Amino acid sequence: MVFRFGSMARATFALLTSLLCVGGEVLLLGLDYLGVVIVLMMTIEMALMAVFMVMYMMNPAGLMPMTMLHNKKGAAWICAALFVLLAAGTVLAPWPPRRGRPSADPAMDLGLSLMGPQMLTMMTLGLALFATIVASVVLATRRGRYDRFGDDLKARRADDPVRGGIGR
């Protein structure tokens, strides 16, 4: 659906839907922590992406026709050939037999295998990055939400630093 929409914002939310489905599959596999992290991370990431698209793109709402595909026939052939190749590889590959029993806590084992002993460091880094994003947004805006019409939002005219805009 990402390539069907004419609006980049709608395409972003279509991508979010597919990523939420992946998070749901991870939850169904019994990896609760990892599934919730995927859902939360992708939701916030795609929402931020949609906001920046609306702010900075020339045609975020899709008011003018656009296409994200340039060589439709070639891309379709490449995708079909790659799908057949990957499907044949999964069917024809000699899979090794399972050794041992499944882990009691697969989420913990996955975290340790991905990050090793640095899991706490990476979690702390994630919080630090989030705090940096929030702080940079707060510091970038000189005026607050209620500055234009006062704290009680009852001012008759907006107090805009440059006259002639929306608040006039």
Alpha-carbon distance of 121 to 98, in angstroms, equals 33
Digit-coded pLDDT (tens) for 48-64? 887 777 777 766 555 55
State yes or no: pLDDT of 26 exceeds 80.
Answer: yes
Tokens found for residue 133: 């994003």
Alpha-carbon distance of 104 to 62, in angstroms, equals 49
Q: What is the pLDDT of residue 109?
A: 85
Q: What is the pLDDT of residue 163?
A: 64
Digit-coded pLDDT (tens) for 109-131? 887 888 777 877 877 888 999 99
Alpha-carbon distance of 113 to 98, in angstroms, equals 18
Q: Where are the domains of the chain?
A: 1-68, 107-155
CA dihedral angle for residue 103, residue 109, residue 113, residue 118, rounded to 10 degrees: -160
Q: What is the pLDDT of residue 161?
A: 63
pLDDT higher at 53 or 76: 76
> Alpha helix (H) ranges present in 32-167?
32-56, 72-92, 106-115, 119-140
Q: What is the pLDDT of residue 166?
A: 56
Residue type, position 37, single letter? V
Tokens found for residue 32: 């609760």
69 within 8 A of 75, measured Cβ to Cβ = yes
Q: What is the pLDDT of residue 148?
A: 67
The mean pLDDT of 93-120, rounded to a whole number, is: 84
pLDDT higher at 131 or 149: 131
Burial of 2 (0-12, 13-18, 19+ CB in 10 A): middle
Please list, in sequence order, all residues whose beta carbon lies within 8 angstroms of the beta carbon of residue 157, skipping any fewer than 6 positions away: 167
